[in-house]
Chains A and B, each alone.
Chain A
Amino acid sequence: MTGDEILTGEGVALQVRAASVVARAGAWFLDALATAAVTIGLIVLASWALGDTLDWAEAQALMTALVFLVLILIPATVENLTHGRSLGKLAFGIQILRDDGGPVRFRHCFGRALIGFFELWMTSGGVAFLATLMNDRGKRLGDLLSGTYAASIRGAKSTLLPLYMPQELIGWIRFTDLRPLPEGLALRTRQFLQRAGQFPPPARQRLGLRLAAQVEDYVAPSPPPGTHPERFLAAVLFERRLREQAAADARAPRLNAQLAGVEALPFHIPDPEV
């Protein structure tokens, strides 16, 4: 298992990237601004409500309690109630998860906040920054001690371009026998077509020819002589998708019927709505 993966109880590895140091720093900076605002508000409120009625011991105790409240208790509570989010984390698409991918509890949040007081506030983030650079999931000390990490929960945007059908090959491909392409080959071909423009021309041609030769093994009869390899590949992928879509559409009613049978309660027990 690499640093990016979480193994679920079903034995499936989820790929959830750890948030980058820059995003975490940005999120903390936003949170720090919010914290400062809350602190000023509380101080104004306290001095307005209490005025000069406190003796020195009471004022000192109140001060410590205020620091504890604003820098440790409030962040921990916010993080707990929102299942690992905060203002800054919301803005930067970060969520705190347990190492095993589960949701955080108050213990984890409290631990992160308590250690955070030292590594974020006492050292202006310096210790946290160093710690983050030194492990594969970008954990700060508070994460290490609580067994949590900051996951980036903005998924990568899909960059696949739509497939296309070269007009001159329609006549040929419609009556061509396509054997199932190995999955790796299909994906590689698709990615090649997508990035073809980025290759230097000699490499583009070499790769195109090689892929076309591999794909040709699964196609009979061969394309008309003189067909450009990339147009051939595009035609095969497009036709493959058409045929698989048709097959899937034909299968769907039967699959849905089976699923409905599996999920229904036995012995005609009614499934309560609420």
Chain B
Amino acid sequence: MDIDVFTKLHQGQWDRLQRLSAQRKLTGREADDLVHLYRQGATHLSYLRSTAPDPALVSQLSLTLAKARGRIASPHDSSWRDLVRFVTLTLPAALYKVRWWSVVTAAACLLFALGVGLFAGANPDTLDRFVDPATQAAYANQAFADYYTEYAHASFTALVWTNNAQIAGLCVATGITGFIPVYVLLQNSFQIGVIAAVMHRQGADAIFYQLILPHGLLELSAVFVAGAAGLRLLWAWLVPGARTRARSLAEEGKTTLIVVVALTVTLLVSGLLEGFVTPSALPWWLKIAVGALACGAFWFVTFGVGRWAVDKGADPGVTAEEAKSVIAVAG
């Protein structure tokens, strides 16, 4: 059919489709019309494309249809049930997906910190060159303990939380570069090793572990997982497997973002521990037990709940809605 005739015949429908997709509230009849017109428009487009693909008309009609499609599939408001599902299924599933990366990263970082600590402890000269002896003494006697009691509990918690969340977010946001997460992780481990060595040389081991273990177990776990999630992104990009590179990145990227959300919550808990439990007057073994419990809970969620969630079909990379639009590819 002649393009002008075709356009004249259907322009009214396309205009109405455009008006309806821009309209905020639709009555029942209008909603029906929207879907009808959308389907007819799709038919018109396929007809045009196969017979008279005039570029301008194809492009205009495509946009009209894309808008209508967006309106028809417009985001329903997030319901309470979605939120519960997100917390109980999607979050643990995301942590479960990165579990081995987390374990390996954590092991590597702890080994590195241990190595630095042992080396610095065995070679006082090297340590002195990093941190001069007077500072070491002052640090062990006053500064390290003061750090936890200098500010009000709540503001200290806020400081530690925002700071750690920033580090975790940075690890993930820059994960695809590879070197920034590695740099952040190694720097962190290095500092821990050096501080441990300083405290050891000053004979303040007990204070060090009493002050760092209650919150450190959970906090370090979270930072390691953040680094691991970031590095995993690089891996998803370099080694996409049977998926296309873009799809691999998109799926793993979303998984990683959920890990960030999970870690932000985790770091809030560890910030609370650091602000309220670490400087409290509780006996030291109780503080460490609380910290160990929190850390254990985190890893239980990762391995236990995460496994259960994945078995139940939770997929952090693809939402139920997106799964319907995934195009099958041979691989």
Interface positions, chain B 88-119, Cβ under 8 Å from A, are none
Residues of A within 8 A of B75 (CB): 80, 83, 103, 105
Instruction: State the majority secondary structure of interface residues on B.
Output: helix
Residues of A within 8 A of B4 (CB): 160, 163, 241
A223-251 vs B: 1/0 string, CB under 8 Å? 00000000000000100110011001000
Interface size of B by CB at 8 A reads: 77
Q: Is the CB of B27 within 8 A of A274?
A: yes
Q: Number of contacts between A and B (CB, 8 Å)? A: 203
Which stretch of A27-35, A42-50, A58-66, A212-220 is in the interface? A58-66
Q: Is the CB of A145 within 8 A of B59?
A: no
Which stretch of B151-159, B193-201, B278-286 is in the interface? B151-159
Does A222 lie at the interface of the complex (its beta carbon under 8 Å from any beta carbon of B)? no
Contact partner, B176, options A11, A139, A141, Cβ 8 Å:
A141
Contacts A58-B159, A99-B250, A155-B56 known; A106 to B78 CB distance under 8 Å? yes
Contacts A10-B39, A102-B325 known; A273 to B29 CB distance under 8 Å? yes
Q: Is the CB of B52 within 8 A of A183?
A: yes
Does A209 lie at the interface of the complex (its beta carbon under 8 Å from any beta carbon of B)? no
Contacts A99-B246, A240-B2 known; A61 to B56 CB distance under 8 Å? no
Does B169 lie at the interface of the complex (its beta carbon under 8 Å from any beta carbon of A)? yes
Which stretch of B160-168, B202-210, B214-222 is in the interface? B160-168
Least distance between A100 CB and chain B CB atoms (Å): 4
Measured CA separation A157–B55 after assembly (Å)? 9
List the 8 closest pairs (A to B, CB-CB), nearest first.
A145-B253, A147-B250, A61-B158, A64-B162, A183-B51, A100-B325, A57-B159, A155-B60
Residues on A lying within 8 angstroms of B by beta carbon are: 6-17, 54-58, 60-62, 64-65, 68, 80, 83, 97-103, 105-107, 110-111, 114-115, 117-118, 135, 139, 141, 144-147, 151, 153, 155-160, 163, 183-184, 186-187, 190, 237, 240-241, 244-245, 248, 252, 263, 271-274
